[in-house]
Amino acid sequence: MSVPRDDGFVYLADYTAPAWRIPQVELQFELAAEATEVVSRLQLVPDPAQGGEALVLDGVDLELLAIAVDGVALAADRYRYDGRQLQVPGLDRACVLETRVRIRPAANTRLEGLYRSGRLLLTQCEAEGFRRISFMADRPDVMPRWRIVLRAARTDYPVLLANGNPLGTADLGGGQHEATWENPHPTPAYLFAIAAGPLERVTQTLDTAEGRRVELNIWAEAADVARCAYALGAVERALRWDERRFGRGYDLDVFNVVAAQDFTMGAMENKGLNIFNARYILADEATATDADFLAIESVVAHEYLHNWSGNRVTLRDWFQLSLKEGLTVFRDTEFSSDLHSRALKRIEVVRLLRGRQFAEDAGALAHAVRPDRYREISNFYTLTIYEKGAEIVRVLHTLVGDTAFRAGMDRYFADNDGRAATLEEFLAAHQAASGRDLSQFARWYSQAGTPELRIREHYDAASGDYTLTVDQHTPPTPGQAQKQPLLIPLRFALYGADGAPVTTPPDTGAAQAPGLVELTRARHVLRWTGLTDRPLPAFNQAFAAPVKLDLDYAADDLARLARLERDPFNRWDLLQRLATGALLGTLDAESATSALSDALADLLDDDAADPAFVAECLALPDFDTLAEAVDVVEVESLVARRESLVERLAEDHVERLERRYHALAATARQGLSGAAMSARALRNACLAWLTRLDPQAALAQAQFAAGGMMTERLAALRCLLHFDAPDAAAALQSFRDAFAHDPLVTDKWIGLVATRPHPDSRDAVLALLASPWWKATNPNRVRALLGSFARGNALGFHRRDGGGYRLLAEQILGLDALNPQVAARLLGSFESWRRLAQPQRGAARAALESLQGGLVSPDSRDLLQRLLED
Ligand code: PHE
Ligand code: ZN
């Protein structure tokens, strides 16, 4: 790909094609936890176009035992290995390089390369983990075909899985056995995977639309296999959906998925052998919440859908990461929207964007969806690459329409199948299929920061002239002071005095389609003439553009619009806007609060509305979203204002909340049906509001005691713990004991303890860190305790005395030596520190500065440097 320059950065501009092609790889593993030996045979072919460069392969911390070219051992002076790279000068023709190396899975706490998790041996190779297994041109544009032989002791490792199709197994005598796998599709090393151990499975066979018989398997350790059935169903749904919606079939005889308790990220799309964080596989009603079920379905779909957007068409280099991730998030989001409620999915995504991605785009770590340089690629698996990347694909979909979008995707897959592609090639396919010039659109990929649209209206009652003036502006981000106008599709609707939509298009300002204008310049003016009343405008229906809107509505207008607006997402959003205006003082607080309260009354009285939608309307903007909307974050006062608004609204509606809570009880018992999930969502929202008014927390206590599904138990426990109910300690104890054997449920109560909204919660976190519950090598546990504390506990993390920051910084220091990616992610929770008011800002800076000189990993050092850079 390209080597770092002297400044330590790898640059997109430095890309060069591989000097050597590797059409075929054969690997042979002798697997054991303490020491594994890997024999590799690489077919190497020099690319004459690259001018006969010396062979350089990646290989990190490998113990090199033997090396030969075309069967002849290399003398020590014929190669150089410095622990990072292997150089073999003097090769100038096609040959086979054979190496034998030793690696140490049991000592691997990075969970990158080959590692041990419980009784399993697993790999994780994206982005640059393969080089910790064997020598390779570890770059995504080198795409061999693979043959993989696994050998191990049968009692310890009865199941041996690798990419592709199984070719056969053999008994080797002496308690050893082997399995051979073949992956016939050109596949980069980052998609390599193996898994070995005492795995059991749930399985299903199906015939694809193209007539291929495929075996779907989900593998887990024996104790967990009973909780894999839901995930298996999700694989089938994803496969069928990709056939229907994108015409994409599956291309191997087996699709294997393995659940791992120790996994740094969510899951990994390795060719034919996905490896998952167990939390995105294991589920039953007693241990997983409704949100867990939906997340499992969507992550399973995400990884499955990568088989085309990522694997069949892969990446030329890591700068193109969003080409697979943004596109695949777009695809999994469409999958969930098609299967469930599109409006609710949109609300979920927008909460994540506003609370987290917008903050990233406005903070010290802001970067473009296609960055032009990086020091450590692991630090770019971000909400910007994933979620904003998906939003950009959605913008494209809006601009060209569904039919042309599908044609563009067909063309992209056809033109790039088996290739390592770039974002330019993605855009070229869509440009060819839609006939549209996408050059301005492409700026979305290179320009960081969230665009803001300021919209001002003017109505002249005498002439009936009505204008909307739309100004776009993107604030500066690190390294990008100046921004250019983006191509933004802005949806809009006008509602007349009678409440009906105004269907006349604007006379000037070129609306491209009814209710849609494409903004290309810094300013656009839409003008209507002859309107007999001043209309009410609504914008950005379904959040079609990932932008911030600056509007100057009065509270009453917002409330009225929330009733008139046809778009369900916007009805929710207008209420969020009312709440935000009341909380941040941008609206008259009393009129906004009472307008919001009236709207919620109507929603709670409306038994025909989807209860889950009502629950979303009750959930006010969270702390992160509010913090992102202000220039200077006064933590305590922001939290306090939010709490008192919720309390006021709860008081307004006690009877309504009680009525809905009880009326929905029967529906809530109907298992995993959509109606039951919806009912539980609203009941739990009502429960939280009612509990804050009741010092005895009687309802929460009763719901907790009733047992039942995890969704209900956990919501009740949260209420008891977070509102300091009299029974909280006893409830926690009984919950803890009931699930002590289950790490995923243990993570849930730990998360509740870590997010108790009180500065003292820091002490509970410290106590857990000193307890047997703490497992620094398990990423899920680290996230449950420290991730939730830093990201989900404003009062604890942002303590005025800096104690929350110091706690986190100290833990990061220790974790950095164990698992750099986990440490770096935690460090990211300081991304908005510069916008904090004093004393927090100074305390956060001090905590960050205390890490200087102490961090060892390139991951954490890169982030720390960016966090402290002026
Ligand atoms: N590629 C994975 C996904 O998004 C995420 C991942 C990245 C997993 C890096 C592990 C390591 O589907
Ligand atoms: Zn992905």
- Domains in the chain: boundaries: 21-188, 198-307, 313-446, 452-545, 739-870
Q: Where are the alpha helices (DSSP H) in 439-550?
A: 443-446
The atom number, within ligand 1, closest to the CA of 264 reads 10
Atom 2 of ligand 1 has which residue's CA nearest to it? 268
CATH class of 313-446: mainly alpha
Which residues in 442-480 are b (16+ Cβ under 10 Å) and which e? bebbebbbbbebebebeeeeeeeebbbebbbebbebeeb
Q: Is the CB of 317 under 6 A from ligand 1?
A: no
448-507 pLDDT, tens digit per residue, is: 999 999 999 999 999 999 999 999 999 999 999 999 999 999 999 999 999 999 999 998
Q: Is the CB of 265 under 6 A from ligand 1?
A: yes
* CATH number of the structural domain 21-188: 2.60.40.1730
* Residue 571: per-residue pLDDT: 98
Q: Is the CB of 26 under 6 A from ligand 1?
A: no
Q: Is the pLDDT of residue 589 over 90?
A: yes
* Residue 50: per-residue pLDDT: 83
* Residue 398: per-residue pLDDT: 98
* CATH number of the structural domain 198-307: 3.30.2010.30
Q: How many CB atoms lie within 10 A of CB 264?
A: 22
3-state secondary structure 619-685: CCCCHHHHHHCCCCECHHHHHHHHHHHHHHHHHHCHHHHHHHHHHCHHHHCCCCCHHHHHHHHHHHH
**How far apart are alpha carbons 209 and 590 in whole angstroms?**
59
Atom 5 of ligand 1 has which residue's CA nearest to it? 268
At 225 the three-state DSSP class reads helix
Q: Is the CB of 303 under 6 A from ligand 1?
A: yes
Residues designated as active site = 303
Atom 11 of ligand 1 has which residue's CA nearest to it? 126
Which residues in 90-101 are b (16+ Cβ under 10 Å) and which e? ebeeebebbbbb
Ligand nearest to the CA of 122: 1
Give the containing element (helix H, strand E) for 103: strand 95-103
What rounded mean pLDDT belongs to the chain? 97
Indicate left, alpha or beta for 173 from its phi (over 0: left) and psi (-120 to 50: alpha).
Answer: left
331-353 pLDDT, tens digit per residue, is: 999 999 999 999 999 999 999 99
Pocket test for ligand 1, best of 124, 126, 308, 311 (most atoms within 8 A of CB): 126
19-49 pLDDT, tens digit per residue, is: 999 999 999 999 999 999 999 999 999 998 8
Q: Is the CB of 831 under 6 A from ligand 1?
A: no
Pocket test for ligand 1, best of 124, 268, 273 (most atoms within 8 A of CB): 268
| Cβ atoms 197, 219 nearer than 8 A | no
Q: Is the CB of 318 under 6 A from ligand 1?
A: no
Tell me the fold of 452-545.
Immunoglobulin-like (2.60.40)
* Residue 488: per-residue pLDDT: 98
Give the pLDDT mean for 621-630.
Answer: 98
**How far apart are alpha carbons 539 and 549 in whole angstroms?**
8
493-532 pLDDT, tens digit per residue, is: 999 999 999 999 998 777 788 899 999 999 999 999 999 9
* Residue 1: per-residue pLDDT: 58
Q: How far is the centre of ligand 2, averaged over its atoms, from the C-alpha of 220 (Å)?
A: 21
Q: Which residue type, as a one-letter code, is found at position 489?
A: P
Q: How far is the centre of ligand 1, averaged over its atoms, from the C-alpha of 302 (Å)?
A: 10
Token code pair at residue 513: 């389609």
692-744 pLDDT, tens digit per residue, is: 999 999 999 999 999 889 999 999 999 999 999 999 999 999 999 999 999 99
* Residue 48: per-residue pLDDT: 87
Q: Which residue type, as a one-letter code, is found at position 398?
A: T
| Cβ atoms 166, 181 nearer than 8 A | yes
Give the pLDDT mean for 208-227.
Answer: 98
Token code pair at residue 662: 């009880």
Q: Is the CB of 281 under 6 A from ligand 1?
A: no
3-state secondary structure 164-182: CEEEEEEEEECCEEEEEEE
Identical fold at 21-188 and 452-545? yes
Which of 49-63, 97-111, 137-151, 578-592 is least confident?
Answer: 49-63
Query: Global pTM?
Result: 0.99
The atom number, within ligand 1, closest to the CA of 129 reads 11
* CATH number of the structural domain 739-870: 1.25.50.10
**ipTM metric:** 0.99
